[in-house]
Amino acid sequence: MSYYDIDDILADSQPGSPIKENVRLELPIWLAEILAICSISNSSDYEENDQDRETTFLKLLEPEFFSPVFLNFIKSDALRLNLNPYMFYYRIVTKWSNMFGDAELVELISKALVDRACELNDLSFKLNDHFRGSNLEFMNNLDSYEKQLFKNSHKSYKNLKIWWLKKPN
């Protein structure tokens, strides 16, 4: 099935029946955003349009990774947070705050990012210590951006070390 085909998605989640009101659907964020913003109204009637502004195709439910429980967990210990299942967590945060402008969320996630980045930097500096004990757990909990970050940082430290120890030819 092609991922962005709305028909496919709908067919997949609602086999054989039309989408009824108050049904929960999982949609890609770009689609959900549009449908949540577009209002259903008679374009001919401006008066009504204004009043009906609140009616949209769908309402966004708060995803699990922005739930208060999850955010509290971040607050208490960002280092033990597992972002691996979300893949693009920081990107999602960006998109989310694009829609809702949630300053508190951004501040919280920014802080978590810096905390995690510190730990990541420390690990990337050590040449062979990152797959041991609790380090391994942390390394498994990275999202894709953090993995890339680790790789680049590690490479940079390693290159300088190699250069410094290189014998002249």
Partner 1 sequence: MSSDLSRYRTVSRTQAGGREPICGRSMMCSGGRCDFSSGTSRRTGLVSTYCLGDKKSRGEQIPLWLATLLKKQEKCNIVVPEWLSVEYLRVRYDEEIKYPSKFSNLPWHWLPIAKKLLDYASDDFIDPPHEIRSLLQDLREVRLVKARKGIRELNHVYIQLDGLSLMEINEMRPFILEVMDQLRKMNDSLKVKAEEETPRQAAAQMDRDDESDDDIYQKE
- Least distance CB 93 / partner 1 (angstroms): 6
Nearest CA to 130 out of 160, 153, 159 is that of: 153
Nearer to partner 1, 10 or 117 (CB): 117
How many angstroms separate the first and last alpha carbons of the chain?
Answer: 57
Nearer to partner 1, 9 or 154 (CB): 154
Min dist CB 11 to partner 1, Å, is: 26
Residues forming a β-bridge with 39:
56
Binding residues (CB under 8 A) for partner 1: these are 36-37, 53-54, 56, 59-62, 90, 93-95, 97-103, 106, 109-110, 113-114, 117-118, 121-122, 124-125, 145, 148-149, 152-153, 155-157, 160, 163-164, 167-168
Q: Minimum distance from CB of 2 to partner 1 (Å)?
A: 27
Q: Are 100 and 63 in contact (CB under 8 A)?
A: no
Distance CA 3, CA 74 (A): 31
Query: In the bound complex, what is the minimum distance in angstroms from residue 84's beta carbon to partner 1?
Result: 17
Residue 25 buriedness (CB in 10 A; 0-12 / 13-18 / 19+): middle
**Residue 1 or 162 having the CB closest to partner 1:** 162
The DSSP call for residue 52 is G
